[in-house]
Amino acid sequence: MSSIAYFGEGVQGITGKPLLMRDMDTNGDGTGSTSMAVDGSVTPVDFFLTPSAGETFSCHRMMTFVQDGGNFNVDEWGSGQTLVNGIELIHSVAGAETILQTIRSSGDLAGIMYDVNYLDFGNGDNVIVGRLTFTKMGSEIYLHDEHTDKLIIRINDDLTGLTEQRVQVQGHVIT
């Protein structure tokens, strides 16, 4: 997954709108850290996406990547981490936050995503990749204006034992 804000110069989707493919990051604008393997157990850490002034994002889906050593367990996160508080998916509109989902295990992740793949390459780390398609849940998620609306992943536990975790949002930019 890339942390680029747009997929190519002037690339248009089927709607004629610029494609959005951006990793969620600590600044919300593509310039912050994208690695979610952080300790949010004492102070939660937010990774988010927010449009620039005058822009609206139409978020169609979210791609999740989790990499860890060893086998993943359905009732834990990665290869053996217990999430007490969970990882929250939040939609913030003008500062009012709505928790859409709380994930506490690999099984929870599989339960909300249509496509989840567990990849064991035999040597080295294992990976879970998944796709949550908002439009299959009823509608895309719209984010309006600079730093007003946000799509947030809030890390509320210690994920530093993971090799890597990141989330990319895909959709269109509506200007």
Q: Where are the domains of the chain?
A: 19-174
Tell me how far the alpha carbon of residue 97 is from its chain's centroid: 16
- Condensed to tens digits (0 to 9), the pLDDT of residues 32-70 reads 999 999 999 999 999 999 998 889 999 999 999 999 998
Of 45, 68, 67, 49, residue with least CA distance to 58: 49
Question: How far from 75 is each of 58, 156, 158, CA to CA, in Å?
Answer: 33, 17, 16
Of 43, 50, 126, 40, residue with least CA distance to 87: 40
Of 78, 137, 68, residue with least CA distance to 107: 78
Q: 11-41 burial by CB neighbour count: b if 16+ within 10 A, else e?
A: eebeeeebbbbbbbbbebbbeeebebbbebb
* pLDDT at residue 121, as a whole number: 82
* CA neighbours closer than 13 Å in the CB half-sphere of residue 87: 27
Written as six digits, the tokens of 138 are 């009823």
Q: What is the mean pLDDT of the chain?
A: 88
If you average pLDDT over residues 163-171, what whole number do you get?
96
* pLDDT at residue 2, as a whole number: 37
- Condensed to tens digits (0 to 9), the pLDDT of residues 71-106 reads 888 999 998 899 999 999 999 998 999 999 999 999
pLDDT band with cut points at 50, 70 and 90 for residue 8: very low
* CA neighbours closer than 13 Å in the CB half-sphere of residue 56: 9
pLDDT band with cut points at 50, 70 and 90 for residue 151: very high
Backbone angles phi, psi at 55, to 5 degrees: -105, 155
The predicted model scores a pTM of 0.88
**Cα end-to-end span (Å), the chain:** 24
* pLDDT at residue 148, as a whole number: 85
If you average pLDDT over residues 16-42, what whole number do you get?
94
**Which has more confidence, 34 or 117?**
34
Q: So what CATH class is 19-174?
A: mainly beta
